């Protein structure tokens, strides 16, 4: 008998009831009826997949060296029927923080940066069809501009390059009326759940100001929000407490959809605005732009040319468009994918900072159907949610074998062999 099996079974069974409750959390009274109200039935239809689509994805690899620095490679690739677009960046640098999270955040932003450069390259080259990004557009617009703690100014200033090209890319798509779609599989966001919670509070008679106040406080100080709910002292106070608990649990929307969707379809498209942090930054920006820039980029902003560059960047940053977002469940047995589209595509000219809590987007059905038709044409089942994005993913992926046998030796030609730190194991390939 395996070690610990008896003790394990006893421990697990002792927590079985609580685990079953937590595994499928559904504390919100009447959530199912509210879900149904904002769930739209939709069956995928057959559409030709010979559309003029540019699919963009990226990859990266990082190598910790024996001198403490990091060698990294980042690649971006865009594929159309007739042409490919590539972008690559590589460098060696020292990061004062050794946090895996900081390295991951840096490489994640760099990968998206490569994708934006590829997108711009394609448009300048004449592409005027659809553009698909692997991932959320809203997430890209919501990054916080900060100076990275690298030694090299090029790495340290990634966020500046990132947002300059992102705003240029978004604006160029708008000017040329190019439909830009972000597709995320099993997104961890919970905007639809947040929206439903606000609708339930409205149904319980809380006015708009009270709803906004208690929800905003809950995201900052859960304990204070719970005290406010308990002090209401009416028959709905317990339900409001449960709503706050549900809000702060941040269970992702795709799990909510898996639990409640009775048939394939999509959520009511929502208009998404700025995060609480971005709104607070905007208030600081209005009062004292220099203070905000100096706080976010303490070293780089010492250079006057860079400061002027940052000043222009923040002006553009706070004019980024709101995003229309919804989840699509293509098949009952599948998991929902999240779809992001800039609001201007639907004729909604609102900035992110103009939108508060998620709200229904007043959109043109014809334009929505165009997006749904693209998604239908690209869907190929459980293991291939988008034929174009799957194709570019296979091409751009940087596997360990290629990195260690092709990319790393070129780096070692410059710095010398045996750059590996102690404990790093290189695989042997036949």
63-90 pLDDT, tens digit per residue, is 988 888 899 999 999 999 999 999 999 9
Q: Is 340 helix (H, G, I), strand (E, B) or coil?
A: strand
The model's pTM is 0.89
Q: SS3 for 5?
A: helix
Tens digit of each residue's pLDDT (9 = 90 or more) over 280-334: 899 999 999 999 999 999 999 999 999 999 999 999 999 999 999 999 999 998 9
What's the CA gap between 272 and 254, in Å, rounded? 17
Confidence grade of residue 429 (pLDDT, cut at 50, 70, 90) = very low
Q: Which range has the worst mean pLDDT, 15-24, 91-100, 399-408?
A: 15-24
Query: Tens digit of pLDDT for each residue in 84-141?
Result: 999 999 999 998 877 788 899 999 999 999 999 999 999 999 999 999 999 999 999 9
Question: Which of the two residues, 187 and 141, has the higher pLDDT score?
Answer: 141
pLDDT grade, residue 29 (50/70/90)? very low
CA dihedral 343, 346, 348, 354 (to 10 degrees): -20
Looking at residue 255, its pLDDT comes to: 86
Whole-number pLDDT of residue 430: 46
Query: pLDDT tens digits, residue range 218-242?
Result: 888 888 888 887 777 566 677 787 7
Neighbouring CB atoms inside 10 A of 362's CB total 11
Q: Which of 428, 421, 427 is nearest to 63 (CA)?
A: 421
Instruction: Note the pLDDT tens digit of each residue in 328-385.
Output: 999 998 999 999 999 999 999 999 999 989 999 999 999 999 999 999 999 988 889 9
Write out pLDDT tens, residues 319-343: 999 999 999 999 998 999 999 999 9
Q: Is the pLDDT of residue 243 over 90?
A: no
pLDDT (mean) for 181-203: 89
Angstrom distance (rounded) from CA 18 to CA 33:
25
Q: Which segment of 133-137, 148-152, 169-173, 212-216 scores lowest on mean pLDDT?
A: 212-216
């Amino acid at each position: 008998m395996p070690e610990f099996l008896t003790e394990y079974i006893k421990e697990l069974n002792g927590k079985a009831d609580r685990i079953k409750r937590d595994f499928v959390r559904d504390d919100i009274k009447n959530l199912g009826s509210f879900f149904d109200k904002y769930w739209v039935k939709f069956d995928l239809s057959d559409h030709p997949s010979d559309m003029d689509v540019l699919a963009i994805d990226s990859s990266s690899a990082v190598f910790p060296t024996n001198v403490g620095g990091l060698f990294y490679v980042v690649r971006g690739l865009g594929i159309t029927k007739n042409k490919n677009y590539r972008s690559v960046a590589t460098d060696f640098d020292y990061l004062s923080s050794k946090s895996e999270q900081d390295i991951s955040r840096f490489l994640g932003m760099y990968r998206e940066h490569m994708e934006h450069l590829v997108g711009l390259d394609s448009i300048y080259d004449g592409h005027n069809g659809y553009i698909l990004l692997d991932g959320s557009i809203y997430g890209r617009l919501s990054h916080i501009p900060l100076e990275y703690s690298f030694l090299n100014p090029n790495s340290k200033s990634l966020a500046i390059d990132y947002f300059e090209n992102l705003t240029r890319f978004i604006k160029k798509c708008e000017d040329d009326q190019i439909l830009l779609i972000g597709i995320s599989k099993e997104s961890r966001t919970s905007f639809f759940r947040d929206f439903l919670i606000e609708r339930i509070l409205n149904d319980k008679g809380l006015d708009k100001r009270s709803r906004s106040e208690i929800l905003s406080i809950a995201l900052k100080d859960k304990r204070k929000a719970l005290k406010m709910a308990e002090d209401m002292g009416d028959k709905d106070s317990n339900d409001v407490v449960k709503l706050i608990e549900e809000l702060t649990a941040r269970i992702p929307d795709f799990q909510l959809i898996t639990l409640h969707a009775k048939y394939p379809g999509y959520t009511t498209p929502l208009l998404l605005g700025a995060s609480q942090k971005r709104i607070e930054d905007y208030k600081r920006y209005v009062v004292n732009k220099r203070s905000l820039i100096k706080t976010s980029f303490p070293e780089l902003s010492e250079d006057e040319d860079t400061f002027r560059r940052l000043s222009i960047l923040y002006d553009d940053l706070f004019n980024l468009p709101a995003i229309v977002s919804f989840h699509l469940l293509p098949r009952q047995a599948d998991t929902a994918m999240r779809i992001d589209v800039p609001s201007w595509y639907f004729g909604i000219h609102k900035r992110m900072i103009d939108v508060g809590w998620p709200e229904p987007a007043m959109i043109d059905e014809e334009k929505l159907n165009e997006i749904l038709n693209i998604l239908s044409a690209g869907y190929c089942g459980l293991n291939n949610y988008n034929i174009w994005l799957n194709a570019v993913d296979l091409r751009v992926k940087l596997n360990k074998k290629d990195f260690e046998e092709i990319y790393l030796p070129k780096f070692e030609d410059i710095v010398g062999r045996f750059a590996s730190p102690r404990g790093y194991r290189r695989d042997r390939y036949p």
